[in-house]
Amino acid sequence: MNNKLFALWGEESRSSDSSPKLYEYIYNQFNVNGNNIIWDGYYSPPSLSIDENLKKQLLNCMTEDRISFDVKDRFYHSIGKAASEYIRLMNGEKIEIVDAVIYPTEEQVPYLFNNIGKDIEIVIFGGGTSVTEGLTPKKKRKYSVSLDIKNFRDFEINKESLVLEAGTGFMGPELEKKLNSENLTLGHFPESFEHSTIGGWIATNAAGQESNRYGKMKEMVIGVKMITPTGTYTDHPVPAESAFFKVSDLAVGSEGAYGLITKAWLKVNPIPSNRYFHSYMFHSFMDGIEALRDEFRQGNSPMVSRLSDETETALSMLAIKDSFLTNIFKRYLNMRNVLDKSALLILIDDKKSSYKSFKKGVSIGSAPAKFWYKTRYDRPYMYNELLKRGIVAETIETSMLWGSAKTLYNNVIQHISVLYRTR
């Protein structure tokens, strides 16, 4: 057996800063003893050998320094972050592990695709945050090789047209840092931002926390370059082209099924000069839905709008650590009759004037919205703590028309309650 490898979310040394009260509440709901750690969050992959035939084939296509047979590399390139994967790792089950990892440059890819043996399956790897098991080797061929896109690093900004031409290997923080230094932003901030790549975002048609303003990937991409086993296809990168279809129409949301997206042309935007934070409490989630719907119908769509139901709101309240100020804040909520069984709405916008009052909403200032913004990438670290105690947290994403919102919500809650008896 090899050394144990960290198998939870993010950085090994980082942990969640949520209040102990929150954990206590969740453990009680699941009837779990918080002191009972059933998984340390590590996995021991088996010893893995190097297949000499595979090595020879790969060396025909690229130099040795771009090929890895290291167990750690192979393990991390074989897993994503789906709940089903965490469960397998937690249970110490055997998982499929790729036979090698390759790190080609963009220029090497066409030669690789033309010359690689038919007995090798290639799984494309961006940041490894997939929740669809998209990184799991299927082992339908003799060998599985993970192709890591981190060397696709072209970067050129067309400032006049506000278009970025970028290699797909950039991760969120580095990309935004480079754009911010030019006073620009892509505006794509998924919760997985710190560990996901442009390539992964496009291949999953990802949506970020500010997609009200900037759109999801489909709206941001104006062209891609995709290298496939049958050739290289590159868009004429212009927006709103009316003729025929574009390569990006195939690439966005493709999960790598049609080819490797090596480069993208993306709309970028000036950084908002300011952000204004607003928070409201509604007496019910349904009141909140109606208020938001009316705002959107009037054409008011803030950059960020997050409405939590009564359960999530209660959890957010518990996450706040006790202090003199937070106790005063809670007393104020109590006075306004919105401390318990209420629904929290957070709005963030770049216009000062927007969203001062809602008919059925109680304005509770900027603090909750600011707190959410500050901690917006922290939640998966809380999930790490839960996983160690055998509780698997999962996000269910959906899309619907306003007219179906209430029914959909009620049906989902009812179904989950019956399944897991958690409410």
Ligand X SMILES: Cc1cc2nc3c(=O)[nH]c(=O)nc-3n(C[C@H](O)[C@H](O)[C@H](O)COP(=O)(O)OP(=O)(O)OC[C@H]3O[C@@H](n4cnc5c(N)ncnc54)[C@H](O)[C@@H]3O)c2cc1C
Which of 100, 207, 304, 338 lies at the binding interface for ligand X (CB under 6 A)? 207
Q: Which stretch binds ligand X (CB under 6 A): 18-26, 177-185, 234-242, 255-263?
A: 255-263
* Beta carbon of residue 130, minimum distance to ligand X (angstroms, whole number): 3
Q: In what order do the strands lie in the sheet with 276-282?
A: 304-307, 343-349, 276-282, 361-363
Rounded-to-integer distance, Cα 80 and Cα 68, Å: 19
* Sequence-ordered list of residues with C-beta below 8 angstroms from that of 44, at least 6 positions apart, any chain: 1, 2, 3, 4, 5, 92
Residue with Cβ nearer ligand X (284 or 316) = 316
Q: Which two tokens stand for residue 285?
A: 């989630």
**By the 8 A CB rule, do 80 and 131 touch?**
yes
Rounded-to-integer distance, Cα 176 and Cα 182, Å: 10
Q: Which of 368, 246, 390, 265 is nearest to 319 (CA)?
A: 368
Rounded-to-integer distance, Cα 151 and Cα 148, Å: 8
112 binds ligand X (CB under 6 A): no
* Sequence-ordered list of residues with C-beta below 8 angstroms from that of 277, at least 6 positions apart, any chain: 346, 347, 348, 366, 369, 370, 373
Q: Which of 355, 304, 312 is nearest to 189 (CA)?
A: 304
* Beta carbon of residue 77, minimum distance to ligand X (angstroms, whole number): 9
Q: 108 to each of 160, 226, 376, how far by Cα in Å?
A: 32, 13, 38
Which of 101, 102, 109, 124 lies at the binding interface for ligand X (CB under 6 A)? 124
Which of 23, 27, 86, 125 lies at the binding interface for ligand X (CB under 6 A)? 125
136 binds ligand X (CB under 6 A): no
Helices 379-388 and 20-29 pack at an angle, to 10 degrees, of 50
* Angle subtended at Cα 211 by Cα 208 and Cα 216, rounded to the nearest 5 degrees: 75
* Beta carbon of residue 200, minimum distance to ligand X (angstroms, whole number): 2
134 binds ligand X (CB under 6 A): yes
Which of 167, 256, 288, 302 lies at the binding interface for ligand X (CB under 6 A)? 256
* Beta carbon of residue 85, minimum distance to ligand X (angstroms, whole number): 10
Which of 68, 197, 279, 308 lies at the binding interface for ligand X (CB under 6 A)? 197
* Beta carbon of residue 82, minimum distance to ligand X (angstroms, whole number): 8
126 binds ligand X (CB under 6 A): yes
Residue with Cβ nearer ligand X (248 or 342) = 248
129 binds ligand X (CB under 6 A): yes
Q: In what order do the strands lie in the sheet with 67-68?
A: 67-68, 100-102, 143-148, 120-125
Site mask, ligand X, residues 346-385, x = CB under 6 A? ----------------------------------x-----
289 binds ligand X (CB under 6 A): no
Q: Which stretch binds ligand X (CB under 6 A): 109-117, 200-208, 269-277, 286-294?
A: 200-208
3-state secondary structure of 218: helix
Alpha helices in 277-309 (DSSP H): 285-297
* Beta carbon of residue 153, minimum distance to ligand X (angstroms, whole number): 12
201 binds ligand X (CB under 6 A): yes
Which of 73, 154, 165, 191 lies at the binding interface for ligand X (CB under 6 A)? 191
Residue with Cβ nearer ligand X (210 or 295) = 210
7 binds ligand X (CB under 6 A): no
Residue with Cβ nearer ligand X (257 or 412) = 257
Q: Which residue is nearest to ligand X (CB)?
A: 200
Q: How many residues does the chain have?
A: 423
168 binds ligand X (CB under 6 A): yes
Site residues for ligand X, window 293-322 (CB under 6 A)?
A: none
Which of 80, 187, 288, 302 lies at the binding interface for ligand X (CB under 6 A)? 80
Q: Which two tokens stand for residue 279?
A: 């928070």
185 binds ligand X (CB under 6 A): no
- Residue 135 carries which side chain, given as an amino acid letter? L
**Which residues bind to ligand X, rule: CB under 6 A?**
9, 80-81, 123-131, 134-135, 149, 168, 190-192, 196-197, 199-201, 203-204, 206-207, 255-256, 260-261, 380
